[in-house]
Structure 1
Amino acid sequence: MKSKYQIHLLTAAVLSIVLNGCFSLTLSAQSGTKKAADKPAKAVDWKLGVALYTFSSMSFPEQLAYADSASLKYVEGFVFAKSGKELKDTVLFKLSPAGIQNLKKKVADQGLKMESIYVIGGKNIADWKRDFEVAKAFGVKYVTAEPPRNMWDSVDSLAGIYGIKVALHNHWKENSIYWHPDSVLAALKGHPNFGACPDLGHYPKSGINPLDALKKLDGKIIGIHLKDIAEYNNNKIQDVPVGTGVVDFPAVFAELKHQRFNGYVMFERDTKEQPNNLTSLKQMVNYYYKTLDLPRPFFPK
Structure 2
Amino acid sequence: MKIKKLLFFLLAGCLSACVASSKTETKAEKQGWRLSMQSYTFHLFSVVESLEKTRELGLHYIEIYPGQKMGEGFGDAVFGYGLTTEQQEQLRELAASREVKIVSSGVWTSSRDEWEKVFSFAKDMGMEFISAEPAREDWDIVELFAKEYGIKVATHNHPNGDSYWKPELLLEYIGQRDPLLGSSADVGHFKRMGIDPIPALGQLEGRLMAMHFKDIAPEGPEGVLEDVVWGTGVLNVKGMLEELKRQDFSGYFTIEYEANWENNLPEIRQSIDYFNKVADEVL
| TM-score normalised by L of structure 2 | 0.83
Alpha-carbon shift at residue 120 of structure 1 (Å): 2.0
Change (3 A) 1:269 1:142: same
Instruction: Give the Cα–Cα distance (whole angstroms) in 1 for the partners of residues 223 and 140 of structure 2.
Output: 30
Are residue 254 (structure 1) and residue 242 (structure 2) matched? yes
Instruction: Give the Cα–Cα distance (whole angstroms) in 1 for the partners of residues 159 and 216 of structure 2.
Output: 12
Change (3 A) 1:60 1:243: same
Higher share of residues assigned strand: 2
Find the counterpart in structure 2 of residue 64 from structure 1. 51
Listed as ranges, the gaps of 5+ residues in structure 1 are 1-39, 295-301
Between the two proteins, the alignment pairs up a number of residues equal to 252
Instruction: Give the Cα–Cα distance (whole angstroms) in 2 for the partners of residues 169 and 244 of structure 1.
Output: 24
- Higher CA-based Rg: 1
Instruction: Give the Cα–Cα distance (whole angstroms) in 2 for the partners of residues 164 and 279 of structure 1.
Output: 34
Find the counterpart in structure 2 of residue 245 from structure 1. 233
Instruction: Give the Cα–Cα distance (whole angstroms) in 2 for the partners of residues 43 and 106 of structure 1.
Output: 27
Query: Any idea what SS the aligned residue of 1:208 has?
Result: coil
Residue type matched to 1:180 in 2?
A: K
Instruction: Give the Cα–Cα distance (whole angstroms) in 1 for the partners of residues 49 and 216 of structure 2.
Output: 26
Alpha-carbon shift at residue 92 of structure 1 (Å): 1.4
Alpha-carbon shift at residue 106 of structure 1 (Å): 0.9
Alpha-carbon shift at residue 244 of structure 1 (Å): 1.7
Deviations 1:155-194 (A, max 9, x none): 11111111101000111134x4211011111121332131
Find the counterpart in structure 2 of residue 265 from structure 1. 253
Find the counterpart in structure 2 of residue 114 from structure 1. 102
Find the counterpart in structure 2 of residue 182 from structure 1. 168
Contact 1:101 1:137 in 2 (8 A): no
In angstroms, what is the RMSD of aligned CA positions? 2.1
Are residue 217 (structure 1) and residue 214 (structure 2) matched? no
Listed as ranges, the gaps of 5+ residues in structure 2 are 1-26
Percent sequence identity is 34
Alpha-carbon shift at residue 154 of structure 1 (Å): 0.9
Instruction: Give the Cα–Cα distance (whole angstroms) in 1 for the partners of residues 136 and 72 of structure 2.
Output: 37
Q: 1:280 aligns with which of 267, 271, 275?
A: 267
Contact 2:104 2:131 in 1 (8 A): yes
| TM-score normalised by L of structure 1 | 0.78
Contact 2:47 2:68 in 1 (8 A): yes
Deviations 1:185-227 (A, max 9, x none): 1121332131111011111111001001001111111111111
Contact 2:43 2:68 in 1 (8 A): yes
